[in-house]
Amino acid sequence: HLAERDGYAPLNSDFDNFYTRRLKMRINDCFARPITGVPGRYITLLDRKSDDGNYTFKLTGTTTETLNMSSYNYLGFAQSDGPCADASEQAIRKYGISMASPRADAGTSELTLEVEDLIAQFVGKPASMVFSMGFVTNATVFPTLVGKGCLLISDELNHSSIRFGSRLCGSMIRMFKHNDMRDLERILREAISQGQPRTHRPWKKILVVVEGLYSMEGTMCNLPALIELKKKYKYNLFVDEAHSVGAVGPRGRGVCDFFGIDPAEVDVLMGTLTKSFGANGGYLAADKEVIQAMKTQNAAMLFAETPTPSVLVQIASALRIINGDLVPGQGEERLQRLIFNSRYLRLGLKRLGFIVYGHDDSPIIPVMLYNPAKMPAFSHEMLKRKISVVVVGYPATPLVSSRARFCISAAHNKDDLDRMLAACDEVGDLLQLKFSSGVAGGA
Ligand code: PMP
C-alpha cells in the first residue's frame, strides 16, 4: 500500500512502520479513544469497533463510563461545574468565543493582560506572556532567546515541542543524559573549552533546557544542582513546567516552590495551562526585558491566534482558587489531595510489586510493562474493569520500555484509588507485570 499511485508519491508512507502495522491492529482500546462529556474524575468513552481488524473504526452508538486515570487534570479543574465554569460562561456572553486576531493586531484583551499579571505573580517572575498552546509556546520561543553562535543544551527526554522548537533557532544543540548532572557538566566543560566549531570563538550564549517534571518518567529535575552549575558555568536556564506548575510545591507553584528556590534564579519559566488549570494554552515567565522582546519578535505573537476569552477566564479563576482568593481554603485542599493521592497510589503499586518510575510526589505514575505487546493487553484488561489508562511506547519511549502512565487528580478519592489498586493487582498477575519483590521504596 506504499506504492505510488498514478505517478504520485504516497503521503502516508513513513509512519506506517512495524509499530503501527503490528501493534495498532490490536489497539482498539488504547489509543485515541473518542470521548464524550467532561474528562474529569470519570470519563465516558464512545464505543467503537473495527470492521477490517485494522485501525479504522466505526462508532457503535453506545458508551462506557470509566474511572479516568488518563487525563492531565491534576487539580480537578477539568470539571464543568463550579465557579470556574460560571465565570467562563459569562465571559462568552461578554467577549464572544474568539479573539479573531493575533496578539500583535487586535488580539490582546484586558483579560489577556490580567491573566499575564496573575501568572507572573503566581510563578514569581516580573512578567509573563500567554500563548494559545503549550506546544506553540515551545515551538516558537527559542529563536527569540538564542540563535547562531549559541549553544542549546537539552535533557535527552525533553518534550517533543522543545525538540521541535529548538531545531528552528539555528543554535548548536547538544543533549545530556536524562537528569544526569555529571553528563551536563561534561558537555559544558567540553563546549566551553573548545568554543564554537571551527572558529573556536566563545559561545554567544548557552541555554540549558529542562523540564520541571518529566511526563513519561515522573522524574523531577534536579533544580538545586542546575542552579549550582549555572553559577559555575554562567548559562541561562529554561524550565518547562508543563506538568509541575500547579501540581508540585507546597503552594503548587512548581519546582522552585518545591525546592525552596527563588524563581529569580531561573531565567525562563515556561508552562502550559492545559493540565493543572483545566484550560488551554501556554505561558512564558521571565524578566520584563525578555518578555518585551518576545512580544515584539515571537512568531506566535505576530501570526497566531491568541487564547480565547473563556479560556483566559478559566485560567484566572483556577489561579485565584489555588491562591485561596476565590474560595478560601479550596486551593490548599486540592493541592493536599493531589499529594496524598499521588503518594498513596505510588506506594500501593510498589507494594504490589510493580516497577514504578519517578519522584514520590509526582502525580504522573509510570508503571513499567516493558514488552510492547503488553500495552494493548493492559489497556484492554483495565477497560474491562471500567478504568481508562494511557499506555505509552515507542516512539515516546524506547521500544522495550513500554509503560502504562497513570495521571493522578485531586478529583480522585481514596475509594477510586483502592479500586485502581485492586484492578492493577489482578491485571498485574494476569500479565506477569509484578517484577519486584513488592518492597515499597524499591525501583
Ligand atoms: N511541554 C511539555 C513538557 C508537555 O508535556 C506538553 C504536553 N503534554 C507540552 C509542552 C505542550 O503543551 P500543550 O499540550 O498545552 O500544547
Residue range 187-213: mean pLDDT, rounded: 96
Same domain? For 315 and 348 the reply is: no
Nearest protein Cα to ligand 1, atom 6: 242
Residue 31 is predicted with a pLDDT of 73
| Residues 142 and 87 both lie in one domain | yes
Q: By residue range, what is the domain housing residue 382?
A: 18-68+330-430
- 296: Cβ contacts below 8 Å, ≥ 6 apart: none
pLDDT greater at residue 213 or residue 80: 213
What is the pLDDT, as a whole number, of residue 442?
A: 44
**88 pLDDT above the threshold of 90:** yes
Best substitution site from 161, 210, 315 to test ligand 1's pocket, by max atoms within 8 Å of Cβ?
A: 161
Ligand 1 centroid, distance to 429 Cα (angstroms): 33
For residues 273-282, give the mean pLDDT.
95
pLDDT of residue 311: 96
- Give the residue, out of 131, 140, 158, 159, with the most ligand 1 atoms within 8 A of its beta carbon, to mutate for a pocket test: 159
Statement: residue 133 has pLDDT above 80? yes
Question: Is 2 a member of any domain?
Answer: no
| 87, 176, 249, 278, 282 from 333: Cα distances, Å | 21, 38, 13, 17, 25
CATH of residue 392: 3.90.1150.10
pLDDT of residue 326: 86
The residue nearest atom 1 of ligand 1, judged by CA position, is: 242
Residue 388's DSSP bridge partners are 68
pLDDT at 306 over 70: yes
- The answer to whether residues 213 and 257 touch, using CB atoms and an 8 Å cutoff, is no
Predicted local confidence at residue 273, as pLDDT = 96
Tell me, what's the pLDDT at 55? 64
Whether 174 and 36 share a structural domain: no
Q: Which pLDDT score is estimated for 49? A: 83
Claim to verify: residue 159 and residue 63 sit in the same structural domain:
no
The structural domain count of the chain equals 2
Residue 206 within any structural domain of the chain: yes
Please identify, among 323, 354, 373, the residue that sits at the C-terminal boundary of a domain.
Answer: 323
Q: With respect to residue 236, please indicate whether it lies within any of the assigned structural domains.
A: yes
Average pLDDT over residues 187-193: 97
Cα–Cα distance measured from residue 144 to residue 268, given in angstroms and rounded to the nearest whole number: 12
Task: Tell me which of 274, 305, 315 to substitute to probe ligand 1's pocket, judged by most ligand atoms within 8 Å of the beta carbon.
Answer: 274
236-240 vs 268-272, strand pairing mode: parallel
Per-residue pLDDT reduced to its tens digit, 413-441: 999 999 999 999 999 999 999 988 776 55
Which atom of ligand 1 is found nearest the CA of 272? 15
Are 145 and 237 members of one domain?
Answer: yes
- Region 344-372: what's the mean pLDDT? 96
Ligand 1 neighbours, Cβ below 6 Å, are 133-135, 138, 159, 161, 211, 215, 240, 242-243, 272, 274, 282
**Could you give the CA distance from residue 367 to residue 357 in angstroms, rounded to a whole number?**
7
First-last CA distance in the chain: 44
Q: Is the pLDDT of residue 170 over 50?
A: yes
ipTM of model over 0.90 = yes
Residue 220 located in a structural domain: yes
Least confident of 26-40, 73-87, 94-108, 110-124: 26-40
Residue 275 lies in a domain: yes
What is the dihedral sign for C-alpha 108, 110, 116, 120? Answer: positive
The verdict on whether omega for the bond into residue 395 sits within 30 degrees of 0, i.e. cis, is: yes
Instruction: Identify residue 442 by its one-letter amino acid code.
Output: G
Q: Tens digit of pLDDT for each residue in 387-412?
A: 999 999 887 888 899 999 999 999 99
User: Distance, CA 272 to ligand 1 centroid (Å)?
Assistant: 6
pLDDT exceeds cutoff 90 at 292: yes
Q: What is the pLDDT of residues 243-268, one digit of tens each?
A: 999 999 999 999 999 999 999 999 99
Kindly give the number of the ligand 1 atom that is closest to the alpha carbon of 72: 8
Domain C-terminal end among 280, 301, 323: 323
Do 92 and 63 lie in a common domain? no
